């Protein structure tokens, strides 16, 4: 075991673990976690804690963590919620430095749970401990010097180069299952639960310089500290890609996220802007997340967006071409030398323009020859290779040929095999693969576009984070007024005033209740101006003709003002 230098090392690289709430009952969480720790061959000492058992899993059991004679680095807590605070006190007295609290029943359950969680956080800070959870599934570290699987997931994790963090425990278990089917392994896996202490930001810092982690995947329901996340992600994405699924894209989804882990989900448009600004790639679903992950695990980052498509079937090639163009990729124009070499070797029926169609009779040797030429072409930055298996050609032979050629080039190659499910199961079980394989062209095109997007974001100039002079009192008064009136939205005038108070550039504007006020405001702004009706009960101004454009003189303003007032009176807008 390596020396513990980081505050999170007692959690992820412990030399000894106490499982508090270990159980003799098979199928219980307390039994499953202890079983997984032992079965995964943890490289350290394990101490089950249960006052009602002498031996669990053939290991001596202790009544309390205080009764363990050896030092304990990490405690996994699986006791009823009413017992958690007492157990944490005992861990603090023992000198435990890391906690993983599996137990639920905290802020995700309402005010009483929130109060319990606040007391929990106070205790761990008092004792100087760090904590994952509560309400989580556990943690995994596949480092051969650690070998820690402290989860109750049924799937044995594969070792790999992906660091994964999830706010959802149940989704985390499903992700481990899916990763195993795809042959993708993890360096570390963290179910964060309520994020009462250790957050996604802490994990980004921890994985930033971790030599075992090349790709970071995140399932998020909320941002605890968006400002810190932005600063960290901008720095980390210069070194390794971060791919995130952000749940709560809709209002209904945001409400569900809040009831699930007590997360406060924000507006999706703000999330999109935040992730793009700091270089994080956003996956649209868990399936999309794994499509992108496969590309980043197996492929080098391309130098550009020019793609060659190699196929043995015309239809899938057309689909791939459309998808590439839609995702912002460019169909490469092959060099004359490449086309000449293809024409000299391939049958006359083959198409040598991009996409290159080898026709159905193409075998492994033909694929090997054509792909090698395409990757050697200076006009090609990446290749998508499509294979629809005819009866007489084995997809495994084609895959081996693609892998062989790929190993000789520093360009990404993504495969599309429209083959039976058995083929994918066999391919994903191979211990080493040279390229990712997808079932459909659109998935490969999407993944390649993410590789290109990461290169562009990684290589762009860092830029500056602007600061603004803020008149906070103005914004506070506006928000206080809106709350007092029982409203949940700002009107356009209030929104402009808040933006202006925060120093954000907005168009010049003014407010008028009388014609005299309107004339003064228009002259101060300068013609031309736009006249708009402002009323809390009016959502769409166009419904009553409440907007008049291109008002250029005092006379036009007087007529326009009178027209709007007539429309307001006609529609009974008393708050206008």
Whether 318 and 438 map to the same domain: the answer is yes
- Domain assignment of residue 24, yes or no: yes
Closest of 196, 202, 21 to residue 119, by C-alpha: 196
CA atoms 89, 95, 97, 99: torsion sign? negative
* Percent of the chain as helix, strand, coil, to the nearest 5: 45, 15, 40
Reply yes or no on whether the pLDDT at 250 is more than 90. Answer: no
Whether 168 and 21 map to the same domain: the answer is no
Whether 198 and 322 map to the same domain: the answer is no
Q: End of a domain among 239, 271, 298?
A: 298
Q: How far apart are CA 75 and CA 394, in angstroms?
A: 51
* Predicted local confidence at residue 505, as pLDDT: 85
Q: How far apart are CA 244 and CA 165, in angstroms?
A: 10
Closest of 404, 406, 426 to residue 417, by C-alpha: 426
Whether 442 and 525 map to the same domain: the answer is no
Task: Tell which wins on pLDDT, 263 or 268.
Answer: 268
Reply yes or no on whether the pLDDT at 1 is more than 70. Answer: no
* Predicted local confidence at residue 496, as pLDDT: 87
Whether 494 and 438 map to the same domain: the answer is no
* Predicted local confidence at residue 248, as pLDDT: 61
- Domain assignment of residue 145, yes or no: no
- Domain assignment of residue 262, yes or no: yes
Whether 449 and 488 map to the same domain: the answer is no
* Predicted local confidence at residue 392, as pLDDT: 82
Q: End of a domain among 101, 136, 171?
A: 136
Whether 206 and 241 map to the same domain: the answer is yes
Whether 403 and 517 map to the same domain: the answer is no
- Domain assignment of residue 213, yes or no: yes
Question: How confident is the model over 356-363, as a mean pLDDT?
Answer: 95
Question: How confident is the model over 507-533, as a mean pLDDT?
Answer: 92
Whether 288 and 306 map to the same domain: the answer is no
* Predicted local confidence at residue 311, as pLDDT: 97
Give φ, ψ of 284 to 5 degrees. Answer: -90, -15
Task: Tell which wins on pLDDT, 298 or 463.
Answer: 298
Closest of 155, 142, 174, 455 to residue 295, by C-alpha: 455
Domain that holds residue 79: 1-136
Whether 130 and 170 map to the same domain: the answer is no
Question: How confident is the model over 211-237, as a mean pLDDT?
Answer: 90
Q: How far apart are CA 498 and CA 391, in angstroms?
A: 67
* Predicted local confidence at residue 432, as pLDDT: 64
State pLDDT tens for residues 273-316: 889 889 999 998 999 999 999 999 999 999 999 999 999 999 99
For 50, counting Cβ atoms within 10 Å of its Cβ (0-12 exposed, 13-18 middle, 19+ buried), the class is buried
* Predicted local confidence at residue 264, as pLDDT: 42
Reply yes or no on whether the pLDDT at 266 is more than 90. Answer: no
Q: How far apart are CA 186 and CA 297, in angstroms?
A: 11
* Predicted local confidence at residue 263, as pLDDT: 43
* Predicted local confidence at residue 304, as pLDDT: 97
Question: How confident is the model over 142-155, as a mean pLDDT?
Answer: 96
- Domain assignment of residue 148, yes or no: no
Whether 311 and 452 map to the same domain: the answer is yes
* Predicted local confidence at residue 2, as pLDDT: 56
- Domain assignment of residue 142, yes or no: no
pLDDT averaged over every residue in the chain: 91
CATH number at residue 488: 3.30.1490.20
- Domain assignment of residue 192, yes or no: yes
Q: End of a domain among 136, 171, 204?
A: 136
- Domain assignment of residue 466, yes or no: no
Q: How far apart are CA 384 and CA 309, in angstroms?
A: 5
Whether 203 and 279 map to the same domain: the answer is yes
Q: What angle, rounded to 10 degrees, do the helices at 111-127 and 84-94 form?
A: 0
Q: How far apart are CA 50 and CA 62, in angstroms?
A: 6
**Total count of domains within the chain:** 4
DSSP 8-state symbol, 351: B
**What is the band of 82 on the pLDDT scale with cuts at 50, 70, 90?**
very high
Reduce the secondary structure of 250-306 to three states and give it as a string. CHHHHHHHHHHHCCCCCCHHHHHHHHHHCCCEECCCHHHHHHHHHHHHHCCCCCCCE
CATH number at residue 188: 3.40.50.261
Give the number of other Cβ atoms within 10 Å of residue 116's Cβ: 18
Reply yes or no on whether the pLDDT at 485 is more than 90. Answer: no
Question: How confident is the model over 251-266, as a mean pLDDT?
Answer: 45
Indicate the pTM of the whole model: 0.83
Contact of 43 with 145, CB cutoff 8 Å: yes
């Amino acid at each position: 075991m390596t020396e513990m230098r980081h505050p999170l090392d007692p959690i992820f690289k412990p030399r000894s673990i106490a499982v508090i709430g270990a159980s003799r009952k098979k199928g219980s969480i307390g039994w499953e976690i202890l079983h997984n720790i032992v079965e995964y061959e943890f490289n350290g000492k394990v101490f089950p804690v249960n006052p009602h058992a002498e031996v669990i899993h053939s290991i001596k059991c202790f009544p309390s963590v205080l009764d363990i004679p050896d030092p304990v680095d990490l405690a996994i807590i699986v006791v009823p919620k009413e017992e958690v605070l007492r157990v944490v006190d005992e861990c603090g007295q023992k000198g435990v430095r890391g906690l993983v609290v599996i137990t639920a029943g905290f802020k995700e359950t309402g005010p009483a749970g929130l109060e319990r969680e606040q007391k929990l956080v106070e205790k761990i800070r008092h004792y100087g401990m760090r904590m994952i959870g509560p309400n989580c599934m556990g943690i995994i570290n596949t480092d051969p010097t650690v070998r820690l699987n402290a989860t109750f997931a049924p799937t044995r994790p594969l070792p790999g180069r992906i660091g994964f963090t999830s706010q959802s425990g149940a989704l985390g278990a499903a992700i481990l299952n899916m990763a195993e089917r795809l042959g993708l392994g993890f360096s570390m896996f963290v179910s964060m639960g309520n994020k009462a202490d250790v957050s996604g930001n802490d994990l980004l810092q921890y994985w930033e310089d971790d030599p075992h982690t090349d790709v970071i995947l995140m399932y998020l329901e909320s941002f605890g500290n968006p400002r810190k996340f932005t600063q960290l992600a901008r720095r980390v994405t210069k070194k390794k890609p971060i791919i995130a699924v952000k749940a709560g894209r809709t209002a209904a989804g945001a409400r569900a996220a809040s009831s699930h882990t007590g997360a406060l989900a924000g507006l999706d448009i703000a999330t999109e802007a935040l992730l793009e600004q700091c270089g994080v790639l956003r996956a649209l679903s868990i399936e999309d997340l794994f499509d992108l992950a496969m590309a980043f695990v197996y492929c080098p980052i391309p130098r550009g967006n020019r793609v060659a498509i190699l196929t043995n079937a015309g239809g899938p090639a057309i689909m791939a071409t459309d998808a590439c163009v839609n995702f912002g990729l460019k169909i490469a124009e092959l060099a004359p030398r490449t086309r000449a070499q293809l024409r000299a070797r391939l049958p006359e029926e083959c198409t040598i323009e991009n996409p290159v169609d080898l026709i159905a009779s193409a075998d492994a040797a033909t694929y090997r020859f054509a792909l090698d030429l395409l990757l050697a072409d200076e006009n090609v930055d990446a290749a998508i290779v499509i294979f629809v298996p005819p009866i007489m050609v084995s997809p495994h032979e084609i895959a081996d040929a693609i892998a062989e050629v790929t190993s000789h080039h520093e360009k990404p190659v993504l495969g599309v095999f429209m083959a039976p499910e058995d083929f994918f199961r066999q391919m994903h079980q191979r211990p080493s693969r040279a390229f990712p394989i997808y079932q459909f062209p659109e998935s490969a095109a999407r993944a390649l576009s993410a590789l290109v997007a990461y290169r562009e974001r990684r290589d762009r100039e860092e830029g500056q984070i602007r600061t603004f002079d803020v008149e906070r009192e103005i914004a506070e008064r506006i928000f206080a007024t809106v709350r007092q009136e029982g409203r949940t939205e700002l009107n356009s005038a209030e929104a402009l005033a808040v933006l202006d108070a925060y120093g954000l550039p907005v168009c010049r504007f003014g407010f008028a209740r009388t014609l005299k006020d309107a004339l003064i405001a228009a002259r101060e702004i300068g013609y031309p101006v736009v006249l708009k009706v402002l009323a809390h009960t009016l959502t769409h101004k166009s419904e009553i003709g409440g907007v008049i454009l291109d008002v250029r003189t005092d006379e036009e303003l007087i007529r326009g003002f009178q027209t709007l007032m007539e429309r307001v009176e006609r529609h009974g807008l008393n708050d206008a």
